[in-house]
């Protein structure tokens, strides 16, 4: 028995060592990627289905290697979040996005670009100031920027988060709750934090028209959002049936392949201008 325990212990140590080494290597690779400007913002339109107008977009990062290979955020964002590189990555994206949207020809005043952040960023004393600095550098109006925060990791200091969110809101930067209903706090944060929009996750949208129990959760989220007076955006919307269901429930703001996939800025800018022309 002792021998077996010894072997298990040895294997565990080896595995932990490997994981640590692996994470160390990935951290190094992300560091180099940042240095070489390999993290590129892709833009996915958010459309008001009642007017067909593009009212904003979400930024979804892509890691594009020198050889053209595109790496999905699911493969590196968790690591960047874990080791704190997400701060530098977000500032880098905000710089690129600000430079990009400065070039958008027909910009209606309420148009916004929404960037993903984690609770840790909204609890950081310097976050709002750093964001304002970047926007100022590019002469971008703060109300053209928004943030969406996921509950993948928990808030640990709601007082701090409230302070930072209020700093951002004082400049008309809106904060949305991403992946509502999938993460840590349920809806408890919404009582504590000045958040005014819910993003309804694809996980729920895809149950529309099925018997999945999750479709009951979808109904509850929508009811909750309505009662709490929150704005709602449905994401991962892929077909007409889903759009019609959501419209019947009073949700008109739609993001998903039904309208468009995330795309590089050049394509988005064409999409946006064509949309404004119609």
Q: d(Cα 187, Cα 99) in Å, to the nearest integer?
A: 35
Helices 85-101 and 2-35 cross at an angle (nearest 10°) of 30
Residue 45 touching ligand C2E (CB under 6 A): no
Of 100 and 179, nearer to Ca ion (C-beta) is 179
Of 92 and 178, nearer to Ca ion (C-beta) is 178
Question: 3-state DSSP call for residue 177?
Answer: strand
**Planar angle of CA 65, 39, 115, nearest 5 degrees:** 150
Which of 34, 73, 143, 247 touches ligand C2E (CB under 6 A)? 73
Which of 81, 92, 120, 178 touches Ca ion (CB under 5 A)? 178
Question: Least distance from C-beta 137 to ligand C2E, angstroms?
Answer: 19
Of 13 and 32, nearer to ligand C2E (C-beta) is 32
Residue 262 touching ligand C2E (CB under 6 A): yes
# residues contacting Ca ion (CB under 5 A): 5
* H/E element, 13: helix 2-35
CA-CA-CA-CA torsion sign (77, 82, 85, 87): positive
Which of 33, 119, 181, 236 touches ligand C2E (CB under 6 A)? 236
Residues 175-194 that bind ligand C2E (CB under 6 A): 178-179
Q: d(Cα 232, Cα 222) in Å, to the nearest integer?
A: 8
Cβ neighbourhood burial of 24 (10 Å; 0-12, 13-18, 19+): exposed
Tokens (6 digits) for 55: 């009212």
Residue 50 touching ligand C2E (CB under 6 A): no
Residue 264 touching ligand C2E (CB under 6 A): no
Residue 116 touching ligand C2E (CB under 6 A): yes
Which parts of this chain interact with Ca ion (CB under 5 A)?
A: 116, 148, 178-179, 201
């Amino acid at each position: 028995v002792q021998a077996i325990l010894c072997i298990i212990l040895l294997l565990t140590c080896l595995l932990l060592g490997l994981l640590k080494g692996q994470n160390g290597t990935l951290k190094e690779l992300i560091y180099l990627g940042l240095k070489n400007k390999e993290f590129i913002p892709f833009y996915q339109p958010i459309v008001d289905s009642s007017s067909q107008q593009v009212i904003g977009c979400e930024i979804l990062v892509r890691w594009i290697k020198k050889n053209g290979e595109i790496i999905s955020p699911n493969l590196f964002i968790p690591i960047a979040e874990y080791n704190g590189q997400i701060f530098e990555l977000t500032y880098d994206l905000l710089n690129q996005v600000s430079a990009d949207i400065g070039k958008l020809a027909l910009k209606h005043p309420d148009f916004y670009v929404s960037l993903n952040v984690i609770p840790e960023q909204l609890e950081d004393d310097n976050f709002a100031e750093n964001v304002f600095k970047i926007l100022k550098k590019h002469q971008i109006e703060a109300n053209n920027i928004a943030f969406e925060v996921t509950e993948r990791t928990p808030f640990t200091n709601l007082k701090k988060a409230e302070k930072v969110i209020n700093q951002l809101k004082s400049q008309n930067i809106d904060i949305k709750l991403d992946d509502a209903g999938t993460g840590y706090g349920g809806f408890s944060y919404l009582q504590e934090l000045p958040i005014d929009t819910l993003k309804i996750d694809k996980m729920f949208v895809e149950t529309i028209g099925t018997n999945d129990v999750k479709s009951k959760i979808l109904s509850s989220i929508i009811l909750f959002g309505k009662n709490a007076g929150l704005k709602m955006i449905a994401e991962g919307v892929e077909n007409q049936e889903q759009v019609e269901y959501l419209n019947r429930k009073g949700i008109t703001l739609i993001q998903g392949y039904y309208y468009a996939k995330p795309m590089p800025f050049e394509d988005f800018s064409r999409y946006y201008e064509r949309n404004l022309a119609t």
